[in-house]
């Protein structure tokens, strides 16, 4: 019989202690595979990663088992479900040996809560070494400002803020302004160090973040930057055009090189927890294309600090792009294949999410600036309460790329990186991007601090996703957890009021009607048509369903309103040809001469009207309208919506090669069987 070695340190709210071996059935464990691709054995490998847990499956805590030698492990529980079971934790260990070619499997199991305190690594232990990380900024006027992680740790005394805390690893969160030789602090720039020291302080990881994010609104700042770790320069960049409301990040190791290991998470577990869609793990992904290989090389200035990575600089640009999906196409490809180069792109995208001018940190609290604190605030020059920008401190680089964010075309950039790493930087990025959805919405329809989303339907879909994801992963004790949770509940209640209980509701569930002029339809057969964009609503159907899987059960009421027409378009033949189920625009009503809007409620009439608007046909690409429609119908299947299974069968019969398409382009590669289908709430 195979023997498992169990060695655990339990951490919760700063308490730690060893656990006794407990027998847990294999079905109750979660596996994380550790691979060594170097070709030679690795020794003394420090390892830290994030892990989500389905509700109710880990009621006590997390024990770590292995099929090989394993030193004591540390588990920092960052979030629990409302039943007290573990939702998200950061797991750390130091592997004595890791052979090449033979993966090590770590098994995470439920464990008892009894424990005896074990002292965490203290600041004094690190300060007994010669570790330091120093950021130096040189400005065009000749001044220089520096900041030292070591000095910040010394100044914090025995109580620095921590992210991880225990005998295996402690990570301190240190922050301050860079100062000139006279000790005068910079008015606008702030530097954050996340210093992660492993047992013995022979391996230290330091994340360096430089911010221009304060809510007293400076303009762009120009400087040359350098970073030294242990007295050796490890990074430099000349003429950094640090745009307002943005930040950049670099990660370095001291005492040993960065471990060359690759972790493989169980995607099925993340889907079962509701954290991610139920991607089709049976798809056979083809070898990477030439474009994918180019992406994985991450070459050029767009991948340097303040760069945009794989994103389009002008985010409102129309047309399909890889990030316009539940999660970016490159993220879905990583999740399905767990390829290390694909993961590197996902994490780099999470780092570069800081480049965008969307980050607002309140100087009074050091956290995101909320609309609770400034209900009338709008991140727009037309706002009643708006930024009063200082001019740029130095003449900006005229050749610098300008990054323009847009709610209707925003992706999810930091959420998945946080799920697999547990890095504090990615958690804050998720907070910032979710909060931007509120700060960038006009306060009048937002109803000030209520946070009601009121932009384009697709923008509402992506905003709900980013806000709900941030609420779901927010750490216990972080005010962002209650903040985003309340905004999500407010939005669901508002949509129920307007879409379910309102006179505006209609038999077939059409919503968001627009005139042909507003929809920019040229020479319409009927100038009085009222139209919708079904694909935008498909995005919203998925997003509302994602909320259900994250535990917001009432979102199903709104989702099901929209599923009436989505499922109906595929199950009412011959009155309505299902070949017309995925158009760019769809006529769903008419404006009378008196200005009254009459919504069609008969599929034969809808079919007849839309035959005058466009020709039947289904787009074939993995990011096309047919595939977002398919994902919306999958949500209906998981939600138990009537005839959704019939609609899915109909659509897939019209897309005979849909599995091959989704394998090549897994934007919407979702199948029934998600958390809602499993009954996990």
> Quick count: other Cβ atoms within 10 Å of Cβ 239?
12
How far apart, in whole angstroms, are the C-alpha atoms of residue 96 and residue 75? 18
- 477: region left, alpha or beta (phi > 0 left; psi from -120 to 50 alpha): left
Residue 6 has pLDDT above 50, yes or no: no
As given in the structure block, the two tokens for residue 484 are 């985003």
- Say if residue 626 is exposed, middle or buried (CB neighbours under 10 Å; 0-12, 13-18, 19+): buried
Q: What is the CATH number of domain 286-678?
A: 1.50.10
Q: What is the pLDDT of residue 10?
A: 36
Residue 68 has pLDDT above 80, yes or no: no
In degrees and rounded to multiples of 5, residue 255 shows phi and psi of 95, -25
Residue 47, strand partner residues: 93
pLDDT in tens, 304-349: 999 999 999 999 998 888 999 999 999 999 999 999 999 999 999 9
Residues of the chain with pLDDT > 70: what percent?
93
How far apart, in whole angstroms, are the C-alpha atoms of residue 242 and residue 359? 13
Give the pTM. 0.94
* Non-local CB neighbours of 424 within 8 Å, separated by 6+ positions: 163, 171, 173, 194, 207
Q: How far is CA 75 from CA 19, 79, 423, 602, in A?
A: 12, 12, 14, 57
Q: What is the pLDDT of residue 112?
A: 67
Map residue 23 onto helix, strand or coil.
coil
Lowest mean pLDDT among 79-83, 168-172, 319-323, 363-367: 319-323
As given in the structure block, the two tokens for residue 28 are 């109750």
Mean pLDDT of all residues belonging to the chain:
91
Residue 20 has pLDDT above 60, yes or no: no
Taking a C-beta distance cutoff of 8 angstroms, is the pair 367, 434 a contact?
Answer: no
Which residue in 164, 75, 70 sits closest to 111, CA to CA? 75
How far apart, in whole angstroms, are the C-alpha atoms of residue 176 and residue 155? 11
Element (DSSP H or E) covering residue 50: strand 42-52
The mean pLDDT value for 474-482 works out to 97
Helices 329-337 and 340-352: angle between axes, nearest 10 degrees: 140
Residue 355 has pLDDT above 80, yes or no: yes
How far apart, in whole angstroms, are the C-alpha atoms of residue 54 and residue 258? 31
pLDDT in tens, 529-574: 999 999 999 999 999 999 999 999 999 999 999 999 999 999 999 9
As given in the structure block, the two tokens for residue 361 are 């940190």
Residue 605 has pLDDT above 50, yes or no: yes
Element (DSSP H or E) covering residue 77: strand 73-80
pLDDT in tens, 174-196: 999 999 999 999 999 999 999 99
> Quick count: other Cβ atoms within 10 Å of Cβ 261?
20
How far apart, in whole angstroms, are the C-alpha atoms of residue 377 and residue 386? 6
Element (DSSP H or E) covering residue 315: none
Q: Give the CA radius of gyration of the chain.
A: 26
Per-residue HEC secondary structure of 324-349 comes to CCCCCHHHHHHHHHCCHHHHHHHHHH
Residue 593 has pLDDT above 80, yes or no: yes
Taking a C-beta distance cutoff of 8 angstroms, is the pair 189, 210 a contact?
Answer: yes
Q: Are strands 221-229 and 133-138 parallel, antiparallel or unpaired?
A: antiparallel
Q: How far is CA 11 from CA 18, 57, 76, 77, 570, in A?
A: 10, 18, 5, 7, 51
For the chain, which residues make up each domain, given as ranges? 5-115, 123-254, 286-678
The mean pLDDT value for 39-48 works out to 94
pLDDT in tens, 249-303: 999 999 999 999 999 999 999 999 999 999 999 999 999 999 999 999 999 999 9
Q: What is the pLDDT of residue 395?
A: 75
In degrees and rounded to multiples of 5, residue 281 shows phi and psi of -75, -5
């Amino acid at each position: 019989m195979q023997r498992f070695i169990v060695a655990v340190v339990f951490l919760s709210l700063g308490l730690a202690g060893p656990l006794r071996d407990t027998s847990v059935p294999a079905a109750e464990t979660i596996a994380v595979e550790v691979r060594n691709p170097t070709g030679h054995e690795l020794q003394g490998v420090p390892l830290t990663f994030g892990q989500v847990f389905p509700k109710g499956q880990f009621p006590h805590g997390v024990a770590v088992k292995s099929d090989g030698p394993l030193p004591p492990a540390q588990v920092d529980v960052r979030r629990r479900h409302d039943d007290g079971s573990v939702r998200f934790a950061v797991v750390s260990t130091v592997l004595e040996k890791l052979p090449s070619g033979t993966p090590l499997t770590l098994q995470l199991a439920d464990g008892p809560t009894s424990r005896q305190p074990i002292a965490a690594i203290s600041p004094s232990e690190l300060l007994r070494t010669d570790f330091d990380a120093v950021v130096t900024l040189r400005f065009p006027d000749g001044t220089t400002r520096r900041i030292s992680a070591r000095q910040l740790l010394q100044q914090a005394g025995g109580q620095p803020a921590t992210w991880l805390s225990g005998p295996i690893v402690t990570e301190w969160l240190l922050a301050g302004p860079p100062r000139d030789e006279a000790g005068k602090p910079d008015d606008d720039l702030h530097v954050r160090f996340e210093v992660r020291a492993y047992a013995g302080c022979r391996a230290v990881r330091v994340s360096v973040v430089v911010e221009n994010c304060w809510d007293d609104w400076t303009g762009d700042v120009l400087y040359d930057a350098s970073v030294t770790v242990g007295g050796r320069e490890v990074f430099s960049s000349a003429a950094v055009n640090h745009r307002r409301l943005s930040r950049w990040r670099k990660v370095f190791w001291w005492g040993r090189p960065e471990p060359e290991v690759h972790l493989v998470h169980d995607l099925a577990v993340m889907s079962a927890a509701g954290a991610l869609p139920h991607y089709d793990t049976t798809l056979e992904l083809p070898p990477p294309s030439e474009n994918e290989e180019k992406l994985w090389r991450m070459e050029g200035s767009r991948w340097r600090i303040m760069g945009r990575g794989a994103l389009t600089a002008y985010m409102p640009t129309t047309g399909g792009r890889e990030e316009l999906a539940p999660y970016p196409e490159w993220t879905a490809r990583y999740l399905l294949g767990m390829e290390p180069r694909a993961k590197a792109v996902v994490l780099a995208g999470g780092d570069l999410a800081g480049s965008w001018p969307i980050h607002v940190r309140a100087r009074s609290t050091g956290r995101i600036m909320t609309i609770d604190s400034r209900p009338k605030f709008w991140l727009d020059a037309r706002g009643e309460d708006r930024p009063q920008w200082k001019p740029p401190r130095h003449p900006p680089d005229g050749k610098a790329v300008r990054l323009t964010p847009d709610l209707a075309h925003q992706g999810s950039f930091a959420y998945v990186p946080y799920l697999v790493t547990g890095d504090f930087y990615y958690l804050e990025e998720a907070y910032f991007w979710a909060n931007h959805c509120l700060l960038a919405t006009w306060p009048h329809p937002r109803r000030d601090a209520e946070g009601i989303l009121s932009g384009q339907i697709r923008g509402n879909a992506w905003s709900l996703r980013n806000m709900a994801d941030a609420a779901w992963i927010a750490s216990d004790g972080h005010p962002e957890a209650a903040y985003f949770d309340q905004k999500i509940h407010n939005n669901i209640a508002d949509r129920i009021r307007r879409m379910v209980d309102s006179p505006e509701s209609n038999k077939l569930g059409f919503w968001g009607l627009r005139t042909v002029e507003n929809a920019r339809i040229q020479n319409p057969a009927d100038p009085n048509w009222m139209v919708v964009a079904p694909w935008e609503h498909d995005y919203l159907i998925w997003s509302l369903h994602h909320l259900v899987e994250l535990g917001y059960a009432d979102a199903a009421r709104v989702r099901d309103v929209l599923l009436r027409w989505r499922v109906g378009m595929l199950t009412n033949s011959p009155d309505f040809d299902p070949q017309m189920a995925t158009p760019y625009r769809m006529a769903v009503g008419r404006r009378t001469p008196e200005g009254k809007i009459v919504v069609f409620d008969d599929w034969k009439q809808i079919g007849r009207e839309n035959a005058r608007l466009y020709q039947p046909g289904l787009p074939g690409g993995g990011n096309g309208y047919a595939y977002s429609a398919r994902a919306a119908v999958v949500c209906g299947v998981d939600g138990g919506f009537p005839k959704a299974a019939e609609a899915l069968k109909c659509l897939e019969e019209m897309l005979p090669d849909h599995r091959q398409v989704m394998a090549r382009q897994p934007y919407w590669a979702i199948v029934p069987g998600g958390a809602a289908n499993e009954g996990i709430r």
